[in-house]
Amino acid sequence: SQKIEQNSEALNIQEGKTATLTCNYTNYSPAYLQWYRQDPGRGPVFLLLIRENEKEKRKERLKVTFDTTLKQSLFHITASQPADSATYLCALERGSQGNLIFGKGTKLSVKP
Amino acid sequence: DTGVSQDPRHKITKRGQNVTFRCDPISEHNRLYWYRQTLGQGPEFLTYFQNEAQLEKSRLLSDRFSAERPKGSFSTLEIQRTEQGDSAMYLCASSLEAGGAHEQFFGPGTRLTVL
């Protein structure tokens, strides 16, 4: 069955630096890979989606890459701010139904 | 507010009791999903509906769990004979199936504590 690993449980960086989060999967390459942000006590919020035939996607300070050979996605936040502190979840779509398989998440802390 | 809403936000119950949660999706969305999340884990898929039809159930969903979506609008998730292991955040999400990618919009969740 598909397994997803996010490289670290926690990542601490200094304000202004680029945060890079990793998502690795073990089995088939999904058609889509999604990234969500989750704040404590709240539901996840969609950030970006990348298709298997796309190498890179950008949205403001966010960038996602998708390497189906390495079975890996990287999520970058440039010019990070303390407000970016949250847990970031990687998710793969399973089949055509749209239900998502999530990683455990990486908790990002941006220090001023 | 036109987002996904869930009720109640918190529920404390004693082991063996039945509980029911409600989810109101974004009105034009035809897909509705239920997930469960425990501390330090990502959400785990439980079940999903397309309109009023329940199309898939996870093996996580024991026969104590039942979900409905009458008329393809709001949905309810019932847990019978609750156990301490059912303590978790129950998340509802909705999406619009229009071919292609399925960005999901999540509600705030219902936090269940079973004593």
DSSP A11-62: EEEETTSPEEEEEEE-SSPPSEEEEEEE-TTS--EEEEEEETT-SEEEETTE
Residue from A36, A100, A102 whose CB has the most chain B CBs within 10 Å, to mutate: A100
Query: Chain A neighbours among B 58-77 (CB < 8 Å)?
Result: none
Nearest to A59 by CA among A42, A80, A71, A76: A76
Nearest to A90 by CA among A73, A107, A67: A73
Give the whole-angstrom CA distance, residue A102 versus residue A93: 9
> Which pLDDT tens digit goes with each residue over A22-63?
999 987 777 789 999 999 999 999 999 998 889 899 999 999
Closest CA in chain B for residue A30: B101
First-last CA distance in chain A:
41
Q: Which residue has the higher pLDDT, A106 or A4?
A: A106
Q: For position A96, what pLDDT does the model report?
A: 63
Mean pLDDT, residues A70-82 taken together: 95
- Verify whether the Cβ–Cβ distance B42 to A102 is below 8 Å: yes
> Which pLDDT tens digit goes with each residue over B29-53?
999 999 999 999 999 999 999 999 9
Q: At B56, is the pLDDT very low, low, confident or very high (cuts 50, 70, 90)? A: confident
* B20 pLDDT higher than 80: yes
Q: At B105, is the pLDDT very low, low, confident or very high (cuts 50, 70, 90)? A: very high
Mean pLDDT computed over every residue of chain B:
93
Give the whole-angstrom CA distance, residue B101 versus residue A31: 9
Mean pLDDT, residues B48-61 taken together: 89
Closest CA in chain B for residue A10: B40
